[in-house]
């Protein structure tokens, strides 16, 4: 039985398949991919096959049951009591693996009621999985209603495979030896330590072929015979010829008698060499090389205009290639391959030669960085004219990183179909387990949307899932206990030193600025038990839940969607009486922004209970695998080495970074814009217009002008961490606004505000600094009847819902708002 319990891993000519062995004949084998799902694989397509765990194959069981009976029995048992393991949905070539200690998991971020949630788990310890609805207690997750429970006694560790490079399956022919060779590339390394593959067809130690490498700051030219490693075939320059953060042109040539290495058009080293040269029997790789069949030693840096020739370029030809700055494909009859990287999006890279050696980027890399001819610092921060698609001197390049991963590609371990009548809201896979005898808990959160068959509720609540992703600094953290845990911008401690831990708040291991976030990896930042800066405050999911609990308590019906749901389908806003933007709604796509604007123009209403709202622009790729965000300005949370010329997104080629500077200002859509941040110094609101109808209808709020309201407790108010004010307020606090002629829209009233003498982020957003003028407003509550259509109530603070949950006066104010926006509690 154990033999047929284990997966069979089948290496095919085109990828890999995995499943339970159902039966085999002389010409095919049949795998069971899942209960009731089979795949036939012809023998002629199979390159190799093995069991995933050979130790569980005792021969004593061979004659007890037929294979079909055993497979059926195992499938039944696994469905009933354990994980259902599916075949991988996406294969990558063999790649260095990092097994993870502890437990980690992810699922879809959003599903409709009636759909299946698919949980992908890597665990080194037994666990109990409960699919739960987050319940009415904001602090205690033990009481969450349970929809389904799985007990797993035989867990499965699923490795991660970080590291980006270009994989070229159609490699150089290995049948004949080469008489001459040239390898060419442009590089801008981020660090020089260790071994890094640049342009290689080499697999250490048994298929050692040709390649251009970096090793501890030296340039290495390998010209092996295609067999076992021979140190005599590898020559290197002295160190110090190349520098980090600078473009360099590298050429390695061999004329049959001498090997030469050129740096920036000049001969740097030459060596007599007349040995046999043959490419290794492996893939051609850019940004990595092979070791025992796996891609390893990934390059950390930018690469551009790579080429391979079957002749030796001479010194004059190399000087011309250097002076070209990577702008033009070489015109050479001896060109075996050339990758100019003109695509600037996607994962396919075309070969410009006649041989069709097209490549596939593994783990994506980063486009839109420009090439050696481009100075990204020359583009000004407020340049609204520059168009990268029309810049003939921009060139092209691809940024690679050894820790890059956006899709863990784990197999599905558990499936559960959420009942069609399930209430829209926040749910989670809750994992309970022990590490070193101590109880641990892990959540992977997801949203259940309203199914299309069900009528819309009056109210739509938007969760700030883009922000949860942006703060996902440690996708694979050290596991923690059952209670609340504080998580800063750097995330929790990582469970493995080589596991990725980059986000919109931290760069890659080797300094590459983070411009993309993975959506198909665990997101512990989206867990319901994360706090921030102390005092019980939370700015991500836990903080947003106070609104949900308040709505439940007071009988309001509502649907819930994610930022990405809105991006994918902005039309989903139609039909809702009011849309609530809640919490730390910092990261917005242009598509979502425009969709929200259209909803309001058509007469919609918005309650914005958020601070730092619509601050950074994001975009998404069509696969739902990547969120792109390019943040400039280190002093305001931008990435350390980001340059203005690199802020243009690969998904749409449009300007990114601050929304106020790329055509999507928050104040134009919802009336307020961010004015800064603070620590745990939360202030209340004070009344400005006590006679305004929102303070009086239908519930009378007994407050006078200047009275304080909006308290979590006696010492903590509703306004802190990050907060928003009107454009007019921000401009008065800015000495010399970078953009001139801005006019605040008409129809806006400030009915309450919060004040404190503290530094702010003025309109220019250069840094947090002293404001000019005597005004001290840090947040405003506005009621705005937009001239272009729609009504907005905006509270200007991340912590509004937290305070509203505890403060009766603020609660009454929001009830009045919902009443006037035609949203009433269900009787």
Q: pLDDT tens-digit profile of 797-827? A: 999 999 999 999 999 999 999 999 999 999 7
**Quick check: 84 pLDDT over 60?**
no
Distance of CA 76 to CAs 69, 71, 81, 82, 456, Å?
11, 9, 9, 10, 39
**Rounded CA separation 343/116 (Å):** 36
Q: Nearest-CA neighbor of 812 among 554, 576, 580? A: 554
Q: What is the reported pLDDT for 320?
A: 98
**Quick check: 261 pLDDT over 90?**
yes
- Joined together, the tokens standing for residue 402 give 């050894």
Contact 359, 166 (CB under 8 A): yes
> Candidates 2.60.120.200, 3.40.50.1100, 1.10.3720.10, 1.10.760.10; correct CATH number of 167-375+387-400?
2.60.120.200
Q: Nearest-CA neighbor of 310 among 169, 197, 214, 176? A: 176
Q: What is the reported pLDDT for 59?
A: 46
* Parallel/antiparallel/unpaired status of strands 218-223 and 207-215: antiparallel
Q: What are 41's strand-pairing partners? A: 29
Q: Give me the mean pLDDT over the 727-738 stretch.
A: 96
Compute how many other C-beta atoms are within 10 angstroms of the C-beta atom of residue 633.
Answer: 17
**Rounded CA separation 708/755 (Å):** 11
Q: What is the reported pLDDT for 21?
A: 79
**Quick check: 85 pLDDT over 60?**
no
- CATH 2.60.120.200 range(s) for the chain read 167-375+387-400
- CATH 3.40.50.880 range(s) for the chain read 456-472+523-820
- Joined together, the tokens standing for residue 129 give 């999985």
Fold of 456-472+523-820: Rossmann fold (3.40.50)
- Joined together, the tokens standing for residue 647 give 């802020």
Confidence of residue 89 (pLDDT cuts 50, 70, 90): very low
Compute how many other C-beta atoms are within 10 angstroms of the C-beta atom of residue 336.
Answer: 22
Q: What is the reported pLDDT for 65?
A: 59
Helix (H, G, I), strand (E, B) or coil at 173: coil
Element (H or E) spanning 74, and its range? helix 67-81
Q: Which sign, positive or negative, has the C-alpha torsion 129, 150, 500, 521?
A: negative
* Parallel/antiparallel/unpaired status of strands 760-761 and 335-339: unpaired
- CATH 2.30.30.100 range(s) for the chain read 2-81
pLDDT digits (tens, 9 = 90+) for 588-618: 999 999 999 999 999 999 999 999 999 999 9
Q: Under 8 Å CB-to-CB from 639, ≥6 apart: which residues?
A: 507, 513, 514, 515, 630, 631, 632
pLDDT digits (tens, 9 = 90+) for 556-570: 999 999 999 999 999
**Rounded CA separation 676/211 (Å):** 51
Q: Nearest-CA neighbor of 448 among 430, 422, 415? A: 422
* Parallel/antiparallel/unpaired status of strands 15-24 and 8-12: antiparallel
The phi and psi torsions of 646 (rounded to 5 degrees) equal -100, 5
* Parallel/antiparallel/unpaired status of strands 165-168 and 284-286: antiparallel
Share the mean pLDDT of the chain. Answer: 94
**Quick check: 75 pLDDT over 60?**
no
Residue 325 DSSP label: T
Q: Nearest-CA neighbor of 467 among 602, 633, 383, 581? A: 581
H, E, C per residue of 229-279: CCHHHEEECCCCCCCCCCCEEEEEEECCCEEEEEECCEEEEEEECCCCCCC
Element (H or E) spanning 322, and its range? helix 315-323
Q: What are 748's strand-pairing partners? A: 784
pLDDT digits (tens, 9 = 90+) for 2-56: 445 567 778 887 777 777 777 777 778 888 765 566 788 888 888 888 776 544 4
Q: Under 8 Å CB-to-CB from 236, ≥6 apart: which residues?
A: 215, 218, 219, 220, 221, 269
Predicted structure pTM score: 0.89
Q: What is the reported pLDDT for 23?
A: 77
Helix (H, G, I), strand (E, B) or coil at 600: helix
Q: Give me the mean pLDDT over the 163-190 stretch.
A: 98
Compute how many other C-beta atoms are within 10 angstroms of the C-beta atom of residue 48.
Answer: 9
**Quick check: 751 pLDDT over 50?**
yes
Fold of 2-81: SH3 type barrels. (2.30.30)
Q: What are 163's strand-pairing partners? A: none
Contact 717, 711 (CB under 8 A): yes
Residue 787 DSSP label: T
**Rounded CA separation 341/396 (Å):** 6
Q: Give me the mean pLDDT over the 755-771 stretch.
A: 95
**Rounded CA separation 164/400 (Å):** 5
Distance of CA 354 to CAs 167, 332, 339, 343, Å?
18, 11, 12, 18
Q: Under 8 Å CB-to-CB from 743, ≥6 apart: which residues?
A: none
**Quick check: 71 pLDDT over 70?**
no
């Amino acid at each position: 039985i154990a033999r047929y319990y284990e997966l069979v891993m089948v290496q095919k000519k085109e990828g890999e398949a995995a499943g339970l062995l159902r039966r085999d004949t002389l010409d095919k084998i049949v795998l069971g991919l899942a209960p009731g799902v089979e795949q036939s694989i012809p023998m002629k397509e199979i390159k190799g096959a093995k069991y995933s765990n050979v130790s569980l194959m005792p021969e004593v069981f061979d004659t007890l049951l037929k294979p079909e009976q055993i497979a059926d029995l195992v499938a039944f048992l696994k469905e009933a009591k354990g994980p259902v393991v599916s075949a991988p949905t996406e294969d990558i070539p063999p790649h260095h693996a990092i097994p993870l200690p502890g437990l980690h998991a992810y699922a879809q971020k959003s599903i409709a009621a009636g759909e299946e949630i698919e949980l992908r788990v890597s665990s080194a310890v037994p666990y109990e999985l409960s699919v739960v609805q987050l319940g009415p207690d904001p602090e205690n997750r033990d009481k969450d209603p349970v929809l389904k429970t799985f007990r797993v006694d035989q867990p499965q560790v699923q490795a991660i495979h970080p590291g980006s490079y270009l994989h070229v399956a159609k490699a150089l022919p290995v049948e004949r030896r080469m008489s001459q060779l040239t390898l060419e590339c442009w590089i801008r390394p981020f660090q020089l330590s260790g071994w890094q593959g640049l342009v290689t067809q080499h697999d250490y130690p048994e298929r050692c072929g040709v390649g251009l490498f970096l090793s501890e700051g030296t340039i290495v030219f390998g010209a092996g015979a295609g067999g076992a490693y021979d140190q005599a075939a590898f020559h290197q320059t002295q160190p110090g010829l190349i520098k980090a953060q600078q473009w360099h042109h590298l050429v390695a040539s061999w004329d049959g008698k001498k090997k030469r290495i050129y740096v920036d058009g000049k001969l740097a080293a030459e060596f007599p060499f007349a040995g046999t040269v043959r490419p290794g029997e492996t893939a051609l790789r850019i940004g990595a090389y092979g070791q025992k069949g796996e891609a390893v030693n990934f390059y950390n840096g930018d690469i551009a205009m790579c080429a391979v020739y079957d002749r030796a370029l001479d010194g004059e030809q190399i000087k011309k290639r250097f002076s070209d700055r990577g702008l033009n494909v070489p015109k050479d009859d001896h060109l075996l391959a050339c990758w100019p990287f003109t695509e600037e999006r996607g994962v396919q890279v075309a070969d410009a030669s006649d041989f069709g050696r097209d490549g596939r980027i593994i783990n994506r890399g980063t486009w839109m960085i420009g090439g050696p001819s481009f100075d990204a610092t020359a583009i000004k921060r407020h340049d609204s004219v520059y168009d990268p698609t029309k810049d003939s001197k921009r060139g092209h390049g691809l940024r690679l990183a050894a820790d890059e991963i956006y899709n863990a590609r784990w197999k599905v371990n558990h499936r559960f179909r959420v009942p069609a009548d399930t209430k829209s809201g926040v749910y989670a896979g809750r994992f309970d387990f022990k590490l070193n005898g101590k109880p641990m808990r892990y959540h992977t959160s997801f949203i259940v949307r309203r199914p299309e068959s069900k009528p819309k509720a009056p109210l739509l609540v938007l969760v700030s899932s883009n922000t949860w992703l942006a703060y996902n600094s440690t996708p694979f953290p050290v596991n923690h206990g059952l209670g609340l845990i504080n998580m800063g911008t750097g995330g929790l401690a990582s469970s493995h030193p080589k596991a990725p831990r980059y986000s919109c708040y931290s760069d890659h291991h080797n300094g590459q600025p983070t411009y993309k976030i993975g959506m198909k990896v665990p997101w512990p930042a989206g867990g319901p038990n994360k706090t921030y800066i102390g005092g019980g405050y939370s700015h991500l999911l836990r903080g947003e839940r106070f609104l949900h609990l308040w709505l439940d308590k007071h009988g309001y019906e509502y649907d819930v969607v994610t930022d990405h749901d809105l991006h994918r389908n902005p039309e989903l806003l139609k039909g809702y009486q009011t849309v609530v933007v809640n919490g730390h709604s910092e990261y917005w796509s242009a598509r979502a922004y425009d969709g929200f604007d259209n909803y309001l123009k058509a007469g919609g209403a918005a309650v914005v209970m958020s601070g730092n709202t619509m601050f950074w622009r994001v975009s998404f790729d069509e696969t739902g695998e990547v969120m792109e965000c390019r943040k400039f300005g280190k002093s305001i949370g931008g990435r350390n080495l980001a340059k203005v010329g690199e802020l243009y997104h690969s998904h749409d080629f449009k300007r990114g970074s601050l929304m106020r500077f790329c055509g999507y200002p928050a104040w134009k859509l919802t009336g307020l814009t961010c004015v800064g941040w603070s620590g745990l110094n939360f202030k209340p609101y004070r009344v400005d217009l006590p006679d305004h109808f929102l303070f009086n209808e239908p519930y009378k709020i007994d407050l006078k002008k200047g009275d304080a309201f909006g308290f979590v407790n006696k010492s903590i108010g509703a306004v802190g961490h990050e907060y928003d004010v009107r454009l007019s307020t921000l401009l008065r606090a800015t000495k010399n606004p970078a953009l001139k002629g801005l006019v605040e829209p008409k129809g806006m009233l400030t009915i309450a505000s919060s004040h404190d003498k503290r530094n702010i982020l003025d309109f220019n957003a250069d840094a947090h600094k002293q404001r000019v003028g005597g005004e001290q407003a840090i947040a405003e509550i506005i009621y705005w009847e937009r001239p272009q259509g729609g009504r907005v109530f905006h509270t200007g603070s991340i912590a509004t819902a937290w305070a509203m949950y505890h403060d009766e006066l603020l609660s009454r104010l929001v009830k009045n708002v919902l009443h006037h926006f035609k949203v009433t509690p269900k009787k």
